[in-house]
Structure 1
């Protein structure tokens, strides 16, 4: 059993702060899209890239960032990431045009890639097997607090100030996390090994090309990008299996717990990809909610998730992770299916029940899945092992946003009357901006029709995740 650090629970607070800054940023941006679009004059493609530029860089650099944290120090890499994230957030807050905002989001993606693998890798090296499950539950609870509290906070900031405040809030959190890291957190590294520059180049090129291909799917298949992704990733796998000093321990996938948990979470991310983006547009454009009210609508999801997160931490050691994962995913899928029944006259009650189910399902399943797969990663590969899981999930999230965004856009256009103006047939925001009551009503109906199709796909993705976990993961995964 590893020695316990006397400051381990304070270190957990730092790790939670570091994760919180990433989660809050992703969530508050979802409620900022409508006012941001109006103020910057951003097109639908601009909005897509404001969202996707972060994911593209984040996913492309995760494996390399995880390897760097193991080699040069997990605290050091996390602090550098927090500094980049904070500075880029400040630039994003005062962006005067979409191009500047996209550039700032790109740098934020670099910072996020340095932060994310370090947080989980430090957690599993600081806490031993007996306390790790409780630490994971606390970390997941804080992440959920940011997930749901982000839209609420973002809505309030937009109401009181302007959309740039949703980025400005990242700065003090990042500064506090940096100071606390330097004061409280000891440095940790993996064993010194030879660097793997070929593996790093192949991973960055392959993952960036893959995510680019996914992002561009709504506009057609980019054959050159797909070719680069296939060649680079195939070369990466071959190289990592042959080199005596691989950057990524691919043998982790031989473990059924790691592979089953990781790929199940990926399918869930595909389903979750467009949840907040689609639902916040429904609340604001269709139901006429303010950004603050839209954020408050997610409270049932937070309450259910926090309650079931605590329950899952207790039950996981008794009944095994697989049962919790499958049960949680089944409950989440039910929530998605219920969301698909929403229409322009539904009101908030159905959405609240749906979010309650999704929060409960996520609270049971997600900590159990992360705990199970992180428990299989050797301490010396904590950073890159965490990054490997994050990378697969981010690819799933990018695929989810691309697919669901494409389904939403095409189904909306198809459901709009052919006689409607071209701009109104492209987006609901443009339709409502015309000031024509008839076109506005048609746009709301068309949007809810398209939204139903997107959420049915999400439900199918989560059901597939549950089936995969049931078939691949062992009945009694190791307790951690």
Structure 2
């Protein structure tokens, strides 16, 4: 999606000199997108409590508060990429940041779960214009030989956001109301916009493709129907229900129509021919699978630490610090493992670590020493770092450089869709397993309240609190039922991670021969908006 310049060109000197500062601004933009989700993971328990402490959101409403963001984000990535090519990526980044900030401010003052879901969708709209442009700009300000290092640092920024998010969320929830976890985004947005106006160059494609509104609409509708059907199946504890099957079937049919339409369109949102490249397809699939497994597990980990173990939101954030610290430490260094062992071995090893740690969740009980959970989190972060950096480099370099925008959009789309489906599917497994285990213990509740009380551990504990002293007998069964459901869900996640390990072991390349020094000059380079860039280097034939 980036039009190559003549062979032998290089990044303009004025841009090259400030490339690391530009990367810092891109990471700040990335920070708020990732930070918001990691903060929300800590806040879900608070939001699920009745007003005035929270919004009284149900399990499915909490899932939709997350999925509304991810589905809008994923559905609009392609059109956002096309607008970036047409209008300039810097302009699109700025517009996305402003929309994200407005959505955050509105979400902070939501008066109901429905309003929160709607404003989270607005935030997803803004994020759709931010995330893909960060990688596209990165690929256009770094020479090819520095791109793996820059992408590693970019991926490490995700670890930094994950580290800051839960702790920041915990501090805010300890001192302010739940809406502060969204309002914190606003000053970060203001800072990012100011730095971007100052430092980041604009770039665009002089011959961009047209926007594909039909394709975008089909992808969004299909995903919403599919995930809604899965969530509904978890709510009803019955995936054979006619409504559930009809909704899931309709979603799959619309997504099939999306693929057919994209194949025939002369201006598709997604060029399906990209997937003929097995390496590209394998890397994309692994990103989707690992986020499917991790997002679903992260969703229930918060309830384990807060509801079962009794930790506060701040303490929960601190407990998750090893997960983030490992990513921050190892993501920028993962390229060293790739240089020594190759993409296949490094990424397969990372996936096997993830699978083992997810399986380890199935051994956790109410009295497991907390240091064991910390080790599990750290090793999960280590595995994640050795997956994200290699696969991101493979995806961005598997396609020609002029298609960096498309590669970035596809990578982020599959990551977000994988995460959304992970929350929906594994959340439904958790809900179904919990209801099956607890329903025999709810006979003392009124018949009308039993279904709601069996939806989640928070719903059961809330019902127990309303019963007063008589409800105390429900606390231990609720904890036991949740632990059983968590074990089942964790093993499902581990199975998905093993599938991902098999995919990369079969299709990712092994070690590659080192590139000759100076080969970067032969790479196609970016086309910058504003051709008269001061300080253009002349040492490459320009």
What is the TM-score of this pair, normalised by structure 2?
Answer: 0.84
In 2, Cα distance between equivalents of 1:233 and 1:51: 21
Q: CA deviation at 1:13?
A: 0.6
In 2, Cα distance between equivalents of 1:189 and 1:135: 21
**Aligned runs of 1:195-210 on 2, under 5 Å?**
195-197=210-212, 200-210=213-223
2:11 paired residue number = 3
C-alpha distance 234-218 of structure 1, shift in aligned 2 (>3 A): closer
C-alpha distance 59-190 of structure 1, shift in aligned 2 (>3 A): same
* Structure 1 stretch displaced more, 302-311 or 457-466: 302-311
Q: CA deviation at 1:249?
A: 3.2
Q: CA deviation at 1:229?
A: 4.4
1:452 paired residue number = 487
Structure 1 residue runs without a partner (length 5+): none
1:377 paired residue number = 399
Q: CA deviation at 1:194?
A: 4.4
C-alpha distance 176-231 of structure 1, shift in aligned 2 (>3 A): same
Q: CA deviation at 1:326?
A: 0.6
Q: CA deviation at 1:211?
A: 3.8
In 1, Cα distance between equivalents of 2:481 and 2:137: 47
Q: CA deviation at 1:222?
A: 4.8
Q: CA deviation at 1:475?
A: 2.0
2:62 paired residue number = 47
**Aligned runs of 1:417-432 on 2, under 5 Å?**
418-420=440-442, 421=445, 422=450, 423-432=452-461
Report how many aligned residue pairs link the two structures.
Answer: 478
1:113 paired residue number = 128
**CA deviations over 1:63-113 (Å, ceiling 9, x no partner):** 211222122211111111100000110111111222221111010010111
Give the 4+ runs in structure 1 shifted more than 6 A.
none
RMSD: 2.0
Conserved in 2, the CA contact under 8 Å of 1:273 and 1:397?
Answer: yes
* Structure 1 stretch displaced more, 392-401 or 214-223: 214-223
C-alpha distance 148-383 of structure 1, shift in aligned 2 (>3 A): same
Q: Secondary structure in 2 aligned to 1:344?
A: coil
C-alpha distance 400-476 of structure 1, shift in aligned 2 (>3 A): same
C-alpha distance 374-455 of structure 1, shift in aligned 2 (>3 A): same
2:5 paired residue number = none
C-alpha distance 418-225 of structure 1, shift in aligned 2 (>3 A): closer
Choose from 87, 97, 102 the match for 1:87.
Answer: 102
In 1, Cα distance between equivalents of 2:457 and 2:247: 31
2:183 paired residue number = 168
In 2, Cα distance between equivalents of 1:285 and 1:465: 31
Choose from 77, 88, 93 the match for 1:73.
Answer: 88
In 2, Cα distance between equivalents of 1:266 and 1:104: 25
**Aligned runs of 1:222-301 on 2, under 5 Å?**
222=244, 226=248, 229-301=251-323
Choose from 182, 197, 209 the match for 1:182.
Answer: 197
C-alpha distance 211-3 of structure 1, shift in aligned 2 (>3 A): same
1:466 paired residue number = 501
1:365 lines up with 2:365 in the alignment: no
In 2, Cα distance between equivalents of 1:266 and 1:13: 26
Q: Secondary structure in 1 aligned to 2:429?
A: helix
Conserved in 1, the CA contact under 8 Å of 2:457 and 2:482?
Answer: yes
Question: Which one has a bigger Cα radius of gyration?
Answer: 2
C-alpha distance 264-309 of structure 1, shift in aligned 2 (>3 A): same
Q: Secondary structure in 2 aligned to 1:273?
A: helix
Q: CA deviation at 1:178?
A: 1.1
1:214 paired residue number = 227
Conserved in 1, the CA contact under 8 Å of 2:152 and 2:332?
Answer: yes
* Structure 1 stretch displaced more, 93-102 or 293-302: 93-102
In 1, Cα distance between equivalents of 2:513 and 2:75: 31
C-alpha distance 385-190 of structure 1, shift in aligned 2 (>3 A): farther
Conserved in 1, the CA contact under 8 Å of 2:302 and 2:316?
Answer: yes
C-alpha distance 298-419 of structure 1, shift in aligned 2 (>3 A): closer
* Structure 1 stretch displaced more, 470-479 or 125-134: 470-479
**CA deviations over 1:214-243 (Å, ceiling 9, x no partner):** 232132465665565445544444444444
In 2, Cα distance between equivalents of 1:242 and 1:45: 37
C-alpha distance 119-225 of structure 1, shift in aligned 2 (>3 A): farther
In 2, Cα distance between equivalents of 1:194 and 1:306: 37
**CA deviations over 1:172-209 (Å, ceiling 9, x no partner):** 11111111111111111124144143xx3223322432
Conserved in 2, the CA contact under 8 Å of 1:55 and 1:109?
Answer: yes
Q: CA deviation at 1:287?
A: 0.2
* Structure 1 stretch displaced more, 288-297 or 142-151: 142-151
In 2, Cα distance between equivalents of 1:73 and 1:333: 41
C-alpha distance 227-274 of structure 1, shift in aligned 2 (>3 A): closer
Q: CA deviation at 1:144?
A: 0.7
In 2, Cα distance between equivalents of 1:280 and 1:267: 21
1:321 paired residue number = 343
1:331 lines up with 2:331 in the alignment: no
Conserved in 1, the CA contact under 8 Å of 2:41 and 2:302?
Answer: yes
In 2, Cα distance between equivalents of 1:204 and 1:135: 34
Conserved in 2, the CA contact under 8 Å of 1:211 and 1:398?
Answer: no
C-alpha distance 179-99 of structure 1, shift in aligned 2 (>3 A): same
In 2, Cα distance between equivalents of 1:101 and 1:356: 32
Conserved in 2, the CA contact under 8 Å of 1:336 and 1:459?
Answer: yes
C-alpha distance 223-64 of structure 1, shift in aligned 2 (>3 A): farther
Conserved in 2, the CA contact under 8 Å of 1:70 and 1:380?
Answer: no
Structure 2 residue runs without a partner (length 5+): 1-7, 234-242, 466-470, 515-519, 521-542
In 1, Cα distance between equivalents of 2:414 and 2:249: 19
